[in-house]
Structure 1
Amino acid sequence: MTELFFDKFRNLVPRYFEDEWVEEDGLSELELAELLEGKELELPLALWEFYRAVGATEDIMEAFHFFWDPDELEVEDGFLLFLEDEDEQYTWGMRADQLDVPDPIVWRRNNARGEWQSEEGTFSEYVLDLFEWVFDEEEED
């Protein structure tokens, strides 16, 4: 499998946590496959590589918003849900009919209204922007 996004996600560890990335920060191929066992999902490459790079790093998986563990992923309203804010007002997902796209567009659902809105960026763009926003905001405080 080609690693198009892996290094970008792996670099989140030294960039925001001033620590070297180690293999244990991510999930192994086997761990990820086992967590997805029984689910009829084919993860987009960018999401797969995100879990492989940092899926075992609690500081990243729970930084301001909460990334769902692979065994918690589900399709609802035609979207693969993967992220939720701490107040559960919003949930982020990607269209289930576009999971074969390596880096699909991210959508946000207002949970109170059930309305979806495009974030107008791909998964990798959204994730990298999210961490920049979260950690740059912390530095300003």
Structure 2
Amino acid sequence: MTELFSDKFRALVPSYFEDEWVEEDGLSDDELADMLQGKDFDLPLALRDFYRAVGATEDIMEAFHFFWDPDELEIEDGFLLFLEDEDEQYTWGMRADQLDVPDPIVWRRNNVRGEWQSEEGTFSEYVLDLFAWVFEEDDES
């Protein structure tokens, strides 16, 4: 596993679930390859590392928003879609022409209007900020 993003994603488990990260929290290379079989695109390094670090951790994959399983990933409107809110009002993706960038910028689509807007942060930044926001909000309740 590439250490560039993996350590940050693995740290989500002890940070928010007070448990030690174990290999079973992520998808193995073989599991990920099987789930991506037949896809005509490659994942950016940060997204690939995210799945390998925590892709089997339901509490993370379904914390407030829903990260799509690798076999559900699709390209639509020129974006690789990977995340949706619980009300399906918004979908997040990254530009399909930027999938060779290790940590591409995240974009959000308003599903009613079909308009895309930049989140002005990379995938790794967005994910780490998302979990900080979700779990800080839970702590305030």
Relative to the length of structure 2, the TM-score reads 0.99
Q: Which moved more, 1:118-127 or 1:1-10?
A: 1-10
Aligned partners of 1:110 and 1:97: how far apart in 2? 20
1:109 aligns with 2:90: no
Letter of the 2:67 counterpart: F
- 1:72 maps to what in 2? 72
> Over the residues paired in the alignment, what is the CA RMSD in angstroms?
0.6
- 2:22 maps to what in 1? 22
Aligned partners of 1:105 and 1:34: how far apart in 2? 26
SS at 1:106's partner residue? strand
- Structure 1's consecutive aligned runs of 4 or more residues displaced over 6 angstroms after TM superposition are none
C-alpha deviations, 1:47-105, integer Å up to 9, x for none?
00000000000000000000000000000000000000000000000000000000000
Tell whether the 8 Å contact from 2:107 to 2:117 is kept in structure 1 after alignment: yes
- 2:49 maps to what in 1? 49
Aligned partners of 1:97 and 1:76: how far apart in 2? 12
1:1-141 aligned within 5 A? 2-141=2-141
Task: Report how many residues are paired.
Answer: 141
Q: CA deviation at 1:3?
A: 2.5
SS at 2:3's partner residue? coil
C-alpha deviations, 1:16-67, integer Å up to 9, x for none?
0000000000000000000000001100000000000000000000000000
Tell whether the 8 Å contact from 2:110 to 2:116 is kept in structure 1 after alignment: yes
Identity of aligned residues (%): 86
Instruction: Structure 2: give runs of 5+ residues left out of the alignment.
Output: none
Tell whether the 8 Å contact from 2:106 to 2:118 is kept in structure 1 after alignment: yes
Relative to the length of structure 1, the TM-score reads 0.99
